[in-house]
């Protein structure tokens, strides 16, 4: 991974992680508050429904009381019970008493819960009657001529002529009743019972369930002995909460994305600002290390070559001082060592010399070299003067000079449109080659350093191009001039002597 990329990632992490944590925290807090407020409304509604049911239970109780009082005061009923005749009067009793007491359901049962008189049907006599839990209201599925319907019912007992009778009375629950139970228009109520045959509901659209209130349930039509469970289900139609949470999430995403984008741009800019000098420093260090290696190698090789020479020389001095007469003989003996060391050093010099290119001056056609150099490149224009005399230079050297200047000129355009032109013309005793560009140009300070070894402003540049150019031009007895202006472009002018 490049240094710049690493910086970018590091910036990203340092900025993005706290940002995300912060954002998520705010989002959680907001969602939590909205949900809590909403839950508060749901709880309040459930409490209101609970209180309403309790009041309903009392109301039913009061109506059953009225029925009880009337039964106790009714002598014909008492006589019919005691004597066991006048059965028609008993069978019709509940049907007559029910509307008068303001009830929608009424059964008079004996101690074994057998129906003695039913508010809706005469022929229910002797069937097992509905059960209603004494603790509160019970949802009862009752039968009427029009079909089954749901009632909220409660039980009571009455004693007539020493006989105990159960009373079960109730009021019908329909969608209108449920709508009155939920005063908050955003909520809807429905009663769900185990058999789905009768479901009263104050709304017909399916919606999110937010609460349920359980009540005992008895199906007095089909299973009067079984106590099940019915539920008053609270639903929310407009799904305000979901909309609110959705909006919060949306704005959260927008905020995080915007911040992330800003952070990324900032990180990109900062990492470039920081990485450029640091990377330049790295490159410089690498170059110095490479040169250091080379210097050590040269030092080592030269020392190796010199050591035998120094030994021979010391030996000869010693012999000359102590036994001058033996000097010629010793010299002859050691001559071989001296010669081999010298030839080793010569080979070494020759090998190192190969590291810098050799040049061989001869008649060279400048235009031909320029054409060869720029080849078919469409980005570089050539303006070549006709009939130029040959110059005294190595074609390869000249090519390296032009190549370096042209590549710098192309680089100076920084990828923008602009032109690079190589022109040739005859001057006084020389042929002039000019490489000009409409690129970024150089300030005085940049120009002062441009020819320094290793000075570069380019990622991956060696900074050796111009210093090699200068050395090669001077080696060819030529001259080099630069005209440059920041933002306008540069012109490098090389003059090479004509072959005389
Ligand atoms: N034509 C030019 N226009 C603007 N700046 C230039 C031009 N030529 C050279 N320079 C500046 O001088 C610096 C040194 O140039 P030089 O050719 O010696 O090295 P380099 O081009 O950076 O590296 P390399 O030769 O390895 O590509 C360049 O990095 C650039 O800043
Ligand atoms: Mg260069």
The residue-averaged pLDDT of 230-244 equals: 75
246 and 202 share a domain? no
> pLDDT band for position 444 (50/70/90)?
very high
Higher pLDDT, 275 or 62: 62
Residue 129 CB contacts under 8 Å (≥ 6 apart), including other chains: 107, 109, 113, 114, 115, 118, 166, 168, 220, 224
Residue 6 domain-assigned (yes or no)? no
73-103 per-position pLDDT tens digit: 999 999 988 888 888 899 999 999 999 999 9
pLDDT category, 446, cuts 50, 70, 90? very high
Q: List the single range of 54-58, 120-124, 328-332 with lowest mean pLDDT.
A: 120-124
What pLDDT was estimated at residue 302?
83
Instruction: Give a yes or no: residue 36 inside a domain.
Output: yes
Looking from the CA of residue 450, the nearest atom of ligand 1 is 12
Any domain includes 5 = no
455 lines ligand 1 (CB under 6 A): yes
Quick check: CB of 156 below 6 Å from ligand 1? no
Is residue 1 domain-resident? no
Residue nearest to atom 8 of ligand 1 (CA): 408
The percent of residues above 90 in pLDDT, for the chain, comes to: 36
Q: Give the chain's length.
A: 500
Q: Are residues 139 and 108 in the same domain?
A: yes
Co-location of 160 and 308 in the same domain? no
* Domain finish residue from 194, 219, 238: 238
Please report the DSSP string for 307-356 in residue order.
Answer: HHHHHHHHHHHHHHHH-GGGHHHHHHHHHHHHHHHHHHHHHHHHHHHHHS
- Which residues are near ligand 2, the ion (C-beta closer than 5 Å)? 408, 465
Verify that 326 and 443 share a domain, yes or no.
Answer: no
In a domain, 133, yes or no: yes
3 found inside a domain: no
Q: Exposed (0-12), middle (13-18) or buried (19+): which is 218, by Cβ within 10 Å?
A: buried
Q: Are residues 214 and 98 in the same domain?
A: yes
Domain boundary among 327, 355, 383: 355
Q: Are residues 206 and 74 part of one domain?
A: yes
Number of structural domains (the chain) is 3
Q: Is 228 exposed, middle or buried (CB count within 10 Å of its CB: 0-12, 13-18, 19+)?
A: middle
Q: Which of 309, 333, 355 is the last residue of a domain?
A: 355
Identify whether residues 132 and 275 lie together within a single domain. no
In this prediction, residue 262 has a pLDDT band, given cuts at 50, 70 and 90, of: confident
253 and 110 within one domain: no
What's the CATH code of the domain at 389? 3.30.565.10
Statement to judge: residues 83 and 206 lie in one domain: yes
pLDDT at 482: 97
pLDDT over 90 (residue 319): yes
Quick one: pLDDT at residue 382? 93
Residue range 450-480, pLDDT digits in tens: 998 889 999 888 888 898 899 889 989 999 9
Give the Cα separation of 334 and 317 in Å (integer).
13
Which positions ≥6 away from 261 have C-beta within 8 Å?
none
Judge whether 7 lies within some domain: no
Q: Is the pLDDT of residue 42 over 60?
A: yes
pTM over 0.85: no
Q: 116 lies in which domain range?
A: 12-238
Please provide residue 192's backbone torsions phi and psi, each rounded to the nearest 5 degrees: -105, 125
Query: Does residue 2 sit within a domain?
Result: no
d(CA 221, CA 172): 15
Ligand nearest to the CA of 469: 1
Q: Is the CB of 438 under 6 A from ligand 1?
A: no
Same domain, 38 and 173: yes
Mean pLDDT, the chain, whole residue set: 86
CB burial of 135-160 (b: ≥16 within 10 Å; e: otherwise) equals eebbbbbbbeeeeebbbbbbbbebeb
Ligand 1 and 231: CB distance under 6 A? no
**H or E element that contains 399:** helix 395-412
pLDDT at 40: 87
350 and 481: one domain? no
Does residue 287 share a domain with residue 224? Answer: no
């Amino acid at each position: 991974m490049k240094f710049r990329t690493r910086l970018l990632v590091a910036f990203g992490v340092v900025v993005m992680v706290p940002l995300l944590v912060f954002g998520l925290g705010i989002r959680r807090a907001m969602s939590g508050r909205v949900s809590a407020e909403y839950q508060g409304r749901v709880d309040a509604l459930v409490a209101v429904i609970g209180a309403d049911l309790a009041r309903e239970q009392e109301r039913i109780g009061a109506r059953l009381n009225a029925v009880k009082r009337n039964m106790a005061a009714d002598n014909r009923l008492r006589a019919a019970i005691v004597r066991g005749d006048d059965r028609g009067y008993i069978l019709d009793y509940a049907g007559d008493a029910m509307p008068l007491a303001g009830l929608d359901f009424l059964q008079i049962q004996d101690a074994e819960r057998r129906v003695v008189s039913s508010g809706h049907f005469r022929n229910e006599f002797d069937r097992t009657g509905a059960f209603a839990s004494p603790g509160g209201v019970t949802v009862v599925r009752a039968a009427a001529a029009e079909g089954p319907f749901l009632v909220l019912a409660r039980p009571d007992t009455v004693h007539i002529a020493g006989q105990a009778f159960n009373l079960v009375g109730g009021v019908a629950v329909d969608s209108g009743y449920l709508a009155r139970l939920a005063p908050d228009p955003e909520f809807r109520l429905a009663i769900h019972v185990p058999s789905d045959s009768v479901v009263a509901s104050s709304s017909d659209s399916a919606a999110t369930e937010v609460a349920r209130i359980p009540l005992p349930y008895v199906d007095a039509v089909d299973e009067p002995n079984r106590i099940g469970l019915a539920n008053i289900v609270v639903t929310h139609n407009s799904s305000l909460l979901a909309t609110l949470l959705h909006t919060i999430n949306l704005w959260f995403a927008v905020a995080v994305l915007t911040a992330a984008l800003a952070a990324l741009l900032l990180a990109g800019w900062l990492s470039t600002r920081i990485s450029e000098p640091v990377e330049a420093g790295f490159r410089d260090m690498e170059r110095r290390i490479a040169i250091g290696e080379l210097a050590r190698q040269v030092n080592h090789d030269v020392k190796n070559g010199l050591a035998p020479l120094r030994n021979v020389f010391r030996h000869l001095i010693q012999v000359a001082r102590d036994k001058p007469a033996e000097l010629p003989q010793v010299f002859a003996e050691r001559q071989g060592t001296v010669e081999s060391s010298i030839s080793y050093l010569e080979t070494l010099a020759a090998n190192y010399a190969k590291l810098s290119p050799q040049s061989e001056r001869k008649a060279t056609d400048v235009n031909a070299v320029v054409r060869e150099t720029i080849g078919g490149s469409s980005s570089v224009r050539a303006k070549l003067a006709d009939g130029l005399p040959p110059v005294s230079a190595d074609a390869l050297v000249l090519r390296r000079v032009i190549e370096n200047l042209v590549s710098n000129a192309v680089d100076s355009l920084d990828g923008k449109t602009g032109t690079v032109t190589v022109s040739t013309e005859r001057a006084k005793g020389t042929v002039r080659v000019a490489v000009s560009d409409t690129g970024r140009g150089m300030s005085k300070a940049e120009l002062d350093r441009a020819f320094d070894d290793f000075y570069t402003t380019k990622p991956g540049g060696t900074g050796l191009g111009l210093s090699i150019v200068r050395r090669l031009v001077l080696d060819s007895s030529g001259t080099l001039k630069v005209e440059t202006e920041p933002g306008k472009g540069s012109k490098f002018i090389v003059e090479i002597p004509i072959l005389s």
